[in-house]
A = this chain, B = another copy of it.
Amino acid sequence: MSNSLKPVLEHIEKEFDGAVSRLQTFLQIPSISTDPAFKSEVRRCAQHITDDLASIGLDAILHDTIGHPMVVATDDSAGPDAPRVLYYGHYDVQPVEPIDEWTVPPFDGAVIDGSRGKRFVARGAADDKGQLMTFVEAIRSWKKVHGSLPVRVVILLEGEEESGSESLVPFLTEHKEALQADTCIVCDTGMWDEDTPAITSRLRGLVYIEATLHGPSHDLHSGSYGGAVVNPANALAKILGQLHDDDGRILIDGFYDDVTQVSAEQVKQWNSLGDADALTLESSGAKATFGETGFSTLERLWSRPTCDVNGLFAGYTGEGAKTVIGAKATAKISCRLVAHQKPEQIEQALFAFFNERTPEGCHWDLKSFGTAPAIAVPTESPWLSAASDALTSVFPNPAVLIGTGGSIPVVGEFQEILGVDTVMVGFSLDDDLIHAPNEKFEVSCYRRGILAQAAILEAYANISS
């Protein structure tokens, strides 16, 4: 460890209570980007983090967009010859439903005891406020201790990651020059386990649509009409039931055309990481694994596409019984994609799947909620090696290379628009209940995450840009 890094790490440990408190304040802002009712809270959250970055000494600007604000903060104190590192995180969060299942209010910023010591329990704790604060806090301490940073830094914080990122491509295109960097760190992924840090090299892509089947012009009494007119709820269920065959294979036309199998070596390496089935069952609370016949759990998660119903509603959804035939039935459906699948093509195939099955006298309302390609990042770069070494220096176990089943569309946009490759480093755990009630982030992951980000800053200073 260099003479520069050591006092930074000491400062992080000494001032850690302040870092915890700052994350709590950040978590108290309900920045739910999918729900128009929270628009002003999303903006308040953007202003809050802009002010915080400015207080560290960065040049921080809140940019309004057609959707939610983008926050950009830069620091060029390392001088013109130092490498420039782009950091990405998102300050927006998922909705909180079902609200009844939270043990603490989702926007209290609570820190409570858990099985691994203290944990933050709040919407956004791990996804992604707690994660982006790891590099913010590392930068804060570097600036505090040395008055400058070892590398040039540009931070981009998005407010639409959970709601389709409609402003992202226009914003990257417009601010291409200001965002130029030699490498990028996206902090929105997980570790293998609490002692084993990870760099994620494979991401699945995403297509997300909503399909509403309209039948009668209004809700009907099921006695007066049952059996004589189409019931959109029955019809939609029957159609959704045709998405998969009995082996879990997806029946959308052309769905697998561009899917390639990963190598036997790759599968072997993944399967050597540990007992993924046990981890999946434990963290999900499921009683059995499930999925496409012929693939292991990690293959299914990291290398096979999916088609999941994410939301379903029709007719009467309150308590008790109502003998109604609803006029319409809606499903929210998403496909996780793997490398080489073309998102727009899959979206069109999904729309066609429904259109080809329209019951007589019915019609569809089909909406797109955005698409993202799958990503496979280069694993031989010096940035990835340096980040891996820095992670290893802070954690008990060496860093490992993993995939993830989720999507981070921005990684593809950075490659395409800015021409910069990303190293995905993150500190969440499989049981962090991301997108679910009681989302949490371990305080120990937060602490080690900040220390690791400080070490990465120094490691990157030694790579020639």
Contacts and interface: CB of A to CB of B under 8 A. Distances in A.
Contact of A287 (B35, B220, B228, B361): B361
A136 to B, nearest CB: 23
A169 interface: no
Contacts of A57: none
A436 B217 CA distance: 11
Given A210-B321, A315-B332, 12 more contacts: A95-B322, A97-B318, A98-B219, A222-B310, A222-B435, A228-B300, A237-B309, A290-B360, A309-B315, A310-B316, A312-B329, A321-B369
A332 B316 contact: yes
A231 interface: yes
Nearest to A438: B218
A376 interface: no
A285 B218 CA distance: 7
B225 A280 contact: yes
A437 interface: yes
A233 B297 CA distance: 20
Contact of A234 (B206, B243, B316): B243
Interface string A125-149: 0010000000000000000000000
Contacts of A316: 95, 97, 310-311, 332
A230 B222 CA distance: 31
Q: Which 9 A-B pairs have the closest CB atoms?
A: A217-B285, A223-B406, A288-B361, A241-B241, A287-B361, A34-B320, A237-B240, A233-B309, A238-B241
Given A228-B297, A240-B234, A163 B405 contact: no
Contacts of A326: 310-311
Task: Report copies per complex.
Answer: 2
A178 interface: no
Given A216-B286, A227-B405, A290-B228, A324 B301 contact: no
Contacts of A286: 215-217, 229-230, 361
A355 interface: no
Interface in A57-116: 94-95, 97-98, 101
B300 A325 contact: no
B239 A336 contact: no
A205 B306 CA distance: 42
Contacts of A287: 360-362
A300 B222 CA distance: 12
A101 B324 CA distance: 15
Interface string A31-74: 00011100000000000000000000000000000000000000
Nearest to A369: B321
Contacts of A321: 34, 163-164, 208, 210, 310, 332, 334, 369-370
